[in-house]
Structure 1
Amino acid sequence: MHAFARLSLLLPLVLLAGCAGHVPAPNAGAGPAATFPSCTTAHDPRLRASVPRAPAVPSPVAVPLDAMTSSSVPRRRITVRAAERTLHCEGVSLFELLRATGAVPAGPLHGTQLSRYVLAQARDGRRVLFSLAELDPAPGGPAIDVVDRCNGDVPGLADTPLLLVDGDLDDARSLTGLHTLTVVVAP
């Protein structure tokens, strides 16, 4: 068998071997044994595909709920539907609370900010998610509020603060007994 034929049979095995150092070249019996680099492309950055580096992922940001009463977040009146009654309550927009605490930057959302979401958790362990994009107070979006005061004694409203979607306590993502708000970057 010619040296070239043996080399062509050996080369795929060398490439599969994991590019370990230098491999002796087949010799037809004449002259000193030669070596050739087994994987020059593994060491030549010009010939390799670049591997993108993952950007630094910001840590989750815990939003203090006491900031709702002590900050400059504008409070507003919110009409709440619960137990077939309409109540007049008071609270703040979730998005404005996030902005006031620095969890969401000022100005319009764009780029990597759109890969963030808010994880809201109640004292009883129930959790719901909202993307920052859906919280942005654009026309036609849902009104999502954190409510801390309501008039009247209605079952379910005693456990404040409440997280309300469009003022409806029966909405699937509304929570009573809101315990934590965390802004997280999606993996």
Structure 2
Amino acid sequence: MKSYKIILLASLFIASLASNKLFAQTDAKQLSAVIEGEVKTKLVLTPADVDKLPKTTITQKDRTEKEHTYTGAELGLVLKNAGVTLAEELKGENLTKYLLVEASDGYQVLFSLPEVDPAFSSRKIILANRKDGALLSADEGPFHIIIEGEKRKPRNARQVISIKVKFAN
């Protein structure tokens, strides 16, 4: 009888280890965002990748009116690194491209491509990976879209895991 208990306990232990490894792999996937679609190079970004890019900071109030400083990279620069059509190339049919930003909970927001291109707009839109100097928490990260001067905040998507560049039909 004791040998069955030992085998059962050993099996549970092994299953627990496998389960922890699976959770660790899932967490690692959630710590990145993919940029794909009408791009020259599909990018998988981690917060460490964004830390290597030139920094942009936007100070903004949260839902409780507490002010926070968000730091990240300008979205246009991130898109440029993926080979998205921007600046002088953004004309004709390319003006019909848009970004579909998706969060880990399924929340989605939409931006026209010229809206995030610094050659078209002076308003900053960043892919933030830090809030008040620290990496974003799990309920906010891995990335948070922050829009300078946006009167309403619903497009400031949290938990961003995907940015798809598409043509409008």
Give the TM-score category using the shorter length: 0.5 to 0.7
Aligned to 2:91: 110
Determine the C-alpha separation between the residues in 2 that align with 1:94 and 1:107: 17
CA separation of 1:132 and 1:140: change in aligned 2, threshold 3 A: closer
TM-score between the two structures when normalised by the length of structure 1: 0.56
**Take 1:180 and 1:89, find their aligned partners in 2: how far apart are those partners?**
19
SS in 2 for 1:107: helix
Farther off after superposition, 157-166 or 82-91: 157-166
Kindly indicate whether residue 129 of structure 2 is the aligned counterpart of residue 148 of structure 1: yes
Is residue 179 of structure 1 aligned with residue 142 of structure 2?
no
Supply the distance in 1 between the matched residues of 2:92 and 2:48 (Cα, whole angstroms). Answer: 27
Q: Which residue of 1 aligns with 2:73?
A: 92
**Residues 1:122 and 2:98 are matched in the alignment:** no
Instruction: Give 1:107 shift.
Output: 3.5
**Quick one: which amino acid aligns to residue 58 of structure 2?**
I
The one-letter code matched in structure 1 to 2:162 is T
Residue identity in the other structure for 1:115: T
Deviations 1:12-43 (A, max 9, x none): xxxxxxxxxxxxxxxxxxxxxxxxxxxxxxxx
The whole-number CA distance in structure 2 between the counterparts of 1:169 and 1:177 is 21
Gaps of 5+ in 1: 1-58
Provide closer, same or farther for how the CA distance between residues 152 and 91 of structure 1 changes in structure 2, counting only shifts above 3 A: closer
* Superimposed CA distance per residue, residues 59-112 of structure 1 (whole angstroms, 9 cap, x where no aligned partner): 544543338726863222221321211112210111111011212346352112
Structure 1 counterpart of 2:161, which letter?
H
Q: Give 2:20's aligned residue.
A: none
Give the aligned partner of residue 64 of structure 1.
44
Q: Does the CA-based 8 Å contact 1:63-1:182 persist in structure 2?
A: no
- The answer as to 2:134 corresponding to 1:132 is no
Residue 119 of structure 1: SS of its match in structure 2?
strand
> Is the counterpart of residue 165 in structure 1 residue 140 in structure 2?
no
Equivalent residue of 2:114, what SS? helix
Contact 1:118 1:183 in 2 (8 A): yes
Matched, 1:77 2:57: yes
Question: How many aligned residue pairs are there?
Answer: 128
Give the 3 Å change call, closer, same or farther, for CA 110–99 of structure 1 in structure 2. Answer: same
Is contact 2:98-2:112 (8 Å) kept? yes
Partner of 1:49: none
Q: Which has the higher contact order (CA 8 A, sep 6+)?
A: 2
Q: CA separation in 1, counterparts of 2:130 and 2:100?
A: 22
Q: Once structures 1 and 2 are overlaid, which stretch shifts more, 68-77 or 174-183?
A: 68-77
Q: Distance in 1 between matches of 2:137 and 2:47?
A: 23
The offset of 1:123, in angstroms, is 0.5
Structure 1's 185 and 179: CA in aligned 2 closer, same or farther, altered over 3 A? same
